[in-house]
Structures are given as structure tokens and as C-alpha cells.
Structure 1
């Protein structure tokens, strides 16, 4: 009868490998932003805005001044300090020649960027002005104030040509329409966003965000605007009566700033949770995430995404510059030797023989192939400190073949010690926990009745493992109690939404039961 041979299957280590996030074009693109340069200012960074024209300076509003930075040298190019009290929300005009800023003094100031002179002072608000913007035609200024009003100012006459007092709380966010100089948007701490038509001086649309509004912007089409407040970012359709198109909840603290990037195909949100998240406008899915050392108050990005500036609560500005790959010019080097006329160059050779490197098979796989299970286990335990995944994979394979009992029975005193050390070290590790629990059951079966015959060191390790198993059971109990408390809180806060609570019992119950069985056996 002919002998049938089956191909040997290598030990599967992929079960214990850490999961890694998929590499996408967006992640590669945003990772090209170089290491950030940190600049310390005197106070929290209230607002950042990039000049739309070269050399793309950016204005940082903090304390009682507006600092205009050169993003290349990371130094202050101009300093606008004509403020008696705090300055807020400085933004550039589209041509980069003028800059407007609000202040704690309840006035709006217009600056000539080149000369740093104050050209206009718009008075009329009775509270601090936190946000200021130029309208589409660049001849008027929008202001949002803590006196619960929104003002429109004419630059030429320095007069207030429109005023809206529809909000019932501070107005800390606003935007001007990209398609019409007469349409403006405001967001207040009364949770509402209001769209105004300056031609009729009326509120044409009101929507409720549900949280105090911190930032808002229009999409380039002008028919959709986005608001940020609390932990949510919401997308609204103007032409459909303010219909909510999407609600994005990716942050766990207040979202403070919104910006568009990548030719208006990406939305960026910054939050007090220290995260900056980038979304695809078409799907509003997160495509990349950037972490920062402190809570973010403001954020801005230049054209072509070349410079990213992030302002934090501790007065630090993080400036990241995109690294452009330099085109490498191939330089032909002149060789010392030349081919003779009768010598064939390498380029004309038909076949090139390359030396293939054969992957070396691990010793434990060699032993498994020969059905030497104790020897395979010994080799895996010998390098378990350096290659824990390899040792766990072998233990899993031996359990699957139902040969771990005889493999353990053949171990000597030193190898038993290595086995005990490995199981004690990785008990509680999420990657290895299921395998370690099964291995502990086998340890109890093999060594439980003859533990007194082992060395004192191994007896001590065995008792130590039992103690750690008890500790793990107590941890599981505490987590289960915490899950119950969280469920009660969620039920009280959101009646009828019990399905949103975390169901940890289903995950923890099998592990807790298995651990209890081991303790009973020990």
C-alpha cells in the first residue's frame, strides 16, 4: 500500500499579532507633515488664520496682541499690539492687505498689515467681540459679540449698516457666505445657528445644534454649512429648510475649531481632547487623526496644505511644514574601466542567475514535524522572553493537537520553571489570555497532584500563579460592577436607550468562569 504524505503546516502566529491600522493614501499624505516646531506665546491661542496670498503668513491672536508669523522661519514678522485689553479672532482679507480683529474693549479694529496702522475702529457693541470676518465683496466686516448681537460694518464709512439681536446668549461663532456678500451665519451659546439676509435685515433660517456653538463654516457651494459644538460636528442643508444631513461624533471633548483643506475635499476638526481629525467631505468618515500634547483651542491650514498651525490652551503654537520630496537627479559617473571591443557588456546577457535565500525553519517547527512535542515546547520556552508570540502559538498548536499533557510531562525542572514564568507574566494579557487559561488548566492537571515533588522555586511560582489568578478574578468582578453602574447612569440619562450601554458581561463571563475553575483546582 502506498504511503500517503501530507504537507506540514507551520505554526500559526498571526492569531497573536497586534492589529495595525490600514495604510491609506490619506494617512500617507498627512504623515508628510514634518515634525512640528513649537512656539510659546504669552497666553492661550484664541484664533489662527492664514493669509490667502504669498508668503502665506499666519496671524495668531493671543493675550493683548496679534502676532503675524513667518511659517518658514517660525519667527514673528509683525506684531499688532494696539489693544488695551484682550484681542480676539483676527482674520485676513482675501488680498492679504487688511486684517480685522475683535477685542475685550467691545470694539472691532481694522489694520493695514504692511504698516501695522489702525485704519478703522468700529464701535457700537456693548460686549467683547470674539469673532470677525470679511464678507464676500471684501467691503464689509462681520462681527460676533458677547452682547448677543451680530453686526455688519461698512469699511468705507466706518458705519454699522446692519445689526441682528436674535440670539439669547453669547455669539462666539460666525461665517460669511462664499457666494453672496449679503448672507451671513452666526452661532451662539444658546445652541442655535441663524442665517441672515442683510438685504431684508431678516433671519431666514434657524437651526438648533443642541450644544453651545463654538465654530461654523460654509462649504464652497454656499448651500451647506457645518457647525461644531459640544462633542459633535453637524452638517446642515440650507436649501432644504435647514435639514440635518449628518451628525459626526468622533471627539470626546468640546470641538473648538473647523477648517477645510485639500481643495475643500477634506474637513478638519480640532478639540479639547487633544485630537485633530480629518474627514472625507463626501462620506464624513475619519481618514486620519493627529494627536497633540495639549487641548486645542484653534487651528488653521494654508493653501495646498503646506503649513498646519495649531494653537493650544497653554499658549503653545505647533507649526508643521509639509516635506516635499526632492527630485533626485541621476548623475552619470565616469567609470575607470571601459569594455574592450570584443567583450560583451552585461546588458546583453540573456539570463542572470540570482541567489535565492531560503527561509530558515524554526527549531520548534522541525520538532513538530518529527512529532517531538516535549522538545518543541522546550525550544519555544527557551526563547519565550524574546519571542512570546512564538511560544504562545506553539502552546495553542499543542492544545489543538491535544498533546500538551504529554509534552508537559516530559519537561525537566528548569523547563517547568520557564513555563511557570511565561504563564504568570502573560496572564491577563488580552492577546494571550484565552490560550494562557487553557494552558493553566493543563498545568493543574499535570502538576497539581505532584506539586510537592517540584523544586522550591517552582512551588513558589505555582503559588504565585494561583494568587495572580485570584487577582484577575477580582479585577473581572470590579469591571462587572463598573459596567452595572455605567448601565444605571446611562439608563437614567437616556431613558429607553439601554442598547447603547457597554455589554462587558458577555466578554468577561467566559474568562471569569475559567479562572474560577483553575482556582478551585489549585
Structure 2
């Protein structure tokens, strides 16, 4: 006899939420540790304009708010004593490549340089005629220079040691609001402005102006280099665009997933270790005034995760060790999320990597086939990561109606399913009988009591949308083919009356919904045009 399988209900739409993807689980795992703080955010009085992580372990981070720069411990997530040597609001902040110095710009047009450990004030770089909105150190080995951009439309390249401006880089025609240093060259960096332009600078050819100009078509709020150094991402309006710098500034992709202005970008990473299904790779994190944080996989050109926050977002940063994510808001809240690392025990793997017949415990005899314990060895040992686990195939459990279908006793199978009173199983059996072209023959052979069971089931579930397609057609055919039996039984007539009443009520509800839809649809169309 051929192998048979149990009847399975078809997958139908339900109101339950979809199962999250492995990447969605990864980004949702960034939460505030319970042993550190009970609240999900740290609150300040003023907006969080800028956030930066130290490039060296343990990767402390800083946030600018009002006329202060707060430094947070990477281990405890608690703020250290703030830096308050500003005469006006601090608007931008950046760490040097070795994490020892910290530069911050303020609305007076001054760039301040601090010792990150002692918080002592080392330098004041004065030269901007308006607020400094962007400050960045080179990423690789240059510890003597930094560049800044301000509302005076000028990008300045500074010698920190002498407090002198080496180059005034001109070209922007409006506020310079963002910038980033190249990950592959200390002499190259990029700036973005409210003149809709993004300019790539090379200080080795500073006399010729910018080496590349890109038109974002909206005021540029944020710009970052991607890790390869050959691509950049720009944000402005509700767009995030990716450009090929090496290819002459070719636009590769434009993402429009936010409904309000995108305010900040940063690079994130899906770290290996969250499960076999998770793929390691870089992601672009974007935040906007609509309160959403979006995760964009620029290798596949798609949004892989979205997270909603209760207020407009202004800044975002991701730690170099992929353990902490920080988001700043317009209301002064700082949302900090940390991912709990999975600790793998090497000792367990080493213990279970080899099977042992001889016990290492002193005083125990060597196991031989003459001992009963010889045949039970290893039964309680769990498999290690490198072992192949072979499982016995589980015996398929067959329901009563499955056994009857296997024996081609169709009528008995239908009655057995009706007695179980599980609508999914009954509908699955009916669909199997339809495929075998035996359903109406089964209905014709039902006695009065079994026909009553069928009519009660049809009256209860025919108006449910997920079953209505099959059951309404079946109810009509049952009434036509068994009309004489229904007339001769008061119980069957009552079931038909109840079915008719339920169908009429469902039709009335559907008509009311259509009327409401006809009223609302023009209003929604007018609102969309505005």
C-alpha cells in the first residue's frame, strides 16, 4: 500500500502578527539592561543634536545637548561629569581616531578640543563667522588635523596643534550642516549643505575646489561614507540616496521610506552570533522627524527593519563593537539599547568533542562489553556544536478521519470530522473529498442524524470569511439534493431557518460596510491630493 499522510488544513490569512525575521529579532534585541536602569531613556532638557562613539574600547559615547557635552560610560551606560565649557549650544561632536581627544563645535562658531579622559579644555579653534554644525577628525592615522563646517557656508581644515586654519574650502552657497571623513584616506572628506549639494574634498588639491559635486535635490541633513570608501549615503528631505564616488558620482539608489525629513544617518552592522539564519553585513541606519528608525541593506537595496519611537528623532549612532545603539530626540530623550552577547563555552565543546569509553574518575573500572553500563554510555551526553545529530523519524500520528480516508471510507471520514467539531479539520476533509470527487456522494448517503450534524456545522461557519467560499456553495447543493428529507424533519427545517437568518444578517452587514466605504473613499482621496 502506498504511503499516506494526514490531511492538513490550508494556510489561511489570520489576524495574528507575522513571525519576525532573524534580522528583525537582532535589531529588537537592543534593549536597556535591567541591571543598569529601569527606564528606556535618559532625559535632558534640550534636543540631542549629535552623538559620537569612541573608536577605541570600551567605546564610551558622547551626546551634545544645550551648552554641554555629556560623556557616557560604555559599561554602565551612566553619564560622567559633563563638559560645560561652552558659551552657547553645542551642535556637533567627534572623537579622534585614538579616542584620546574630543572636538565639539558650538553656535558661536568656535571648535573646542578636549581631553576625553580628564575633560580638560585644550584648544579653541576660532574662524567661523557663524555656528559650527559639523566637526570631524580623520579616521585613520592623522592626529593633527580636523575639518569643520558651519552656517557661514565655509568648510575649514584645521591644524589642531597650532590652532590655525590650513585651508578655507569654498564652494557651498548655504549652511554646511554635515560631513564625514573617508575611511581609506586621511586627506579626503565629504560635506553636505542646505544648497542641496554634497561636495567631496581632497586637501592635496585644495586650490582647485571640491573634486566632486553631487546634487541631492533637497537640503542635505546628513552624509556618511560607507565602509568601502567608494560609496557615500546622503539624507535630505524624506530621501536617502547612495552615490558611487569612484564612478564619478553616479546615483545608485534612492530610498524614500520616511514620510518626514531624514535627520541623521549612521553605519550599523548585523554581527554574526545571533543565529545561523543571520547574515553578517553592513546596514545604513536612518532616523527622521516621523519618529521612525529604518535599517537599510544597501547590498540588497531593501529595508530590513523599521522601529517606531514616540517623538521626532534627531541623531543616531552605532558602537564599533556592535553592542550598543543610541538615538537622540528633539525632546531631549536619549534612547540607549544594548544587545546581550552570547557567551560560548569552549570547555563544553572540548569535553563533548570526543567519545570516551574509559572513565577518568579514579577508582572506576575500565568499561568492558561484559558490563551493563557499557551499553548505556553516552546516553546523557549532549551533542556539541561540531557533532552530527541523527534523529529517528517520528511516527506520523493519524486522526480517526485520516485512517478512514486511507481506507476510502469517505462518508465515515466526513462524519468523524463533524463529530470532532474542529472547523479547520472539517473543511480540510471536505476539500480532500472535493479533490476525490466524492463530497456530494457522501452528502447523499448521510442519514437524518448525520445530515443534522452537517447543517448545524454549515449554519455556524458558512458566514465566516475564511470558510465561506466552500461552505456557501455546499449549503446550496445540500438544500437542493436533500430537500425531501429537510421537509420531513422539524429539526432540519429549524437548522435551515437559522442558516437563512445568519446569511441575511451577514448580507446586511456587508451592505452597510459598502455604504461606509463609499462615504469615506472620496474624503480620503481629497485628503491625499492636499
TM category (shorter chain) comes to 0.7 to 0.9
Structure 1 residues 360 and 108: alpha-carbon distance in aligned structure 2, compared to 1, 3 A threshold: same
* 8 Å Cα contact 1:71-1:319 kept in structure 2: no
Kindly state the Cα deviation for residue 344 of structure 1 after the two structures are TM-superposed.
3.0
What CA distance in whole angstroms lies between the structure 1 residues aligned with 2:369 and 2:182?
A: 76
Aligned-pair RMSD on alpha carbons?
4.2
Which of 445, 466, 480 is matched with 2:504 structurally? 466
What CA distance in whole angstroms lies between the structure 1 residues aligned with 2:436 and 2:296?
A: 48
Q: Which residue of 1 aligns with 2:339?
A: 321
What CA distance in whole angstroms lies between the structure 2 residues aligned with 1:484 and 1:412?
A: 48
Which of 124, 137, 152 is matched with 1:121 structurally? 124
What CA distance in whole angstroms lies between the structure 2 residues aligned with 1:140 and 1:48?
A: 20
The answer as to 2:469 corresponding to 1:437 is yes
* 8 Å Cα contact 1:234-1:246 kept in structure 2: yes
Structure 1 residues 108 and 419: alpha-carbon distance in aligned structure 2, compared to 1, 3 A threshold: farther
The answer as to 2:226 corresponding to 1:219 is yes
* 8 Å Cα contact 2:110-2:132 kept in structure 1: yes
Q: Which residue of 1 aligns with 2:95?
A: 92
How many aligned positions are there?
A: 470
Q: Which residue of 2 aligns with 1:142?
A: 147
The answer as to 2:403 corresponding to 1:366 is yes
Structure 1 residues 378 and 238: alpha-carbon distance in aligned structure 2, compared to 1, 3 A threshold: same
Structure 1 residues 66 and 340: alpha-carbon distance in aligned structure 2, compared to 1, 3 A threshold: closer
Q: Which residue of 1 aligns with 2:49?
A: 46
What CA distance in whole angstroms lies between the structure 2 residues aligned with 1:190 and 1:459?
A: 73
* 8 Å Cα contact 2:326-2:334 kept in structure 1: no
Structure 1 residues 392 and 132: alpha-carbon distance in aligned structure 2, compared to 1, 3 A threshold: farther
Kindly state the Cα deviation for residue 444 of structure 1 after the two structures are TM-superposed.
4.2
What CA distance in whole angstroms lies between the structure 1 residues aligned with 2:162 and 2:375?
A: 81
Q: Residue deviations 1:299-346, cap 9 Å, x none?
A: 222223233333344513222134132306348995998678783355
SS at match of 1:56: coil
What CA distance in whole angstroms lies between the structure 2 residues aligned with 1:72 and 1:308?
A: 13
Kindly state the Cα deviation for residue 170 of structure 1 after the two structures are TM-superposed.
3.0
Kindly state the Cα deviation for residue 207 of structure 1 after the two structures are TM-superposed.
1.2
Kindly state the Cα deviation for residue 438 of structure 1 after the two structures are TM-superposed.
3.1
Q: Which residue of 1 aligns with 2:382?
A: none
Q: Residue deviations 1:396-416, cap 9 Å, x none?
A: 334444555566785565764
* 8 Å Cα contact 2:172-2:193 kept in structure 1: yes
* 8 Å Cα contact 1:45-1:297 kept in structure 2: yes
Q: Which residue of 1 aligns with 2:189?
A: 184
* 8 Å Cα contact 2:27-2:305 kept in structure 1: no
* 8 Å Cα contact 2:452-2:491 kept in structure 1: no
* 8 Å Cα contact 1:177-1:183 kept in structure 2: yes
The answer as to 2:156 corresponding to 1:151 is yes
Q: Which runs of 5+ in 2 are unaligned?
A: 34-39, 272-279, 352-358, 380-390
Kindly state the Cα deviation for residue 195 of structure 1 after the two structures are TM-superposed.
1.9
Structure 1 residues 121 and 15: alpha-carbon distance in aligned structure 2, compared to 1, 3 A threshold: same
Structure 1 residues 392 and 296: alpha-carbon distance in aligned structure 2, compared to 1, 3 A threshold: farther
Q: Which residue of 2 aligns with 1:241?
A: 248
The answer as to 2:198 corresponding to 1:160 is no
Which 10-residue stretch deviates more, 162-171 or 150-159? 162-171
Q: Residue deviations 1:22-66, cap 9 Å, x none?
A: 966x668x3695533423221443222110112210112234322
Q: Which residue of 2 aligns with 1:11?
A: 7
What CA distance in whole angstroms lies between the structure 2 residues aligned with 1:299 and 1:110?
A: 22
* 8 Å Cα contact 1:229-1:254 kept in structure 2: yes
Q: Residue deviations 1:410-448, cap 9 Å, x none?
A: 556576445444344x42xxxx3xx52232233344459
SS at match of 1:203: coil
- Give the TM-score normalised by the residue count of structure 2: 0.73
Q: Which residue of 1 aligns with 2:213?
A: 206
SS at match of 1:88: strand
- Give the TM-score normalised by the residue count of structure 1: 0.74
Structure 1 residues 238 and 457: alpha-carbon distance in aligned structure 2, compared to 1, 3 A threshold: same
What CA distance in whole angstroms lies between the structure 2 residues aligned with 1:302 and 1:20?
A: 30
The answer as to 2:271 corresponding to 1:268 is no
SS at match of 1:325: coil
Q: Residue deviations 1:105-150, cap 9 Å, x none?
A: 3332222212212222333434432221113523223222234333
SS at match of 1:366: helix
Kindly state the Cα deviation for residue 482 of structure 1 after the two structures are TM-superposed.
8.2
Kindly state the Cα deviation for residue 174 of structure 1 after the two structures are TM-superposed.
1.0
What CA distance in whole angstroms lies between the structure 2 residues aligned with 1:359 and 1:34?
A: 40
SS at match of 2:418: helix
What CA distance in whole angstroms lies between the structure 2 residues aligned with 1:325 and 1:249?
A: 39
The answer as to 2:326 corresponding to 1:309 is yes
The answer as to 2:370 corresponding to 1:343 is yes
Q: Residue deviations 1:133-178, cap 9 Å, x none?
A: 1135232232222343333333123233333453344322211233
Q: Which residue of 1 aligns with 2:71?
A: 68
Structure 1 residues 465 and 73: alpha-carbon distance in aligned structure 2, compared to 1, 3 A threshold: farther
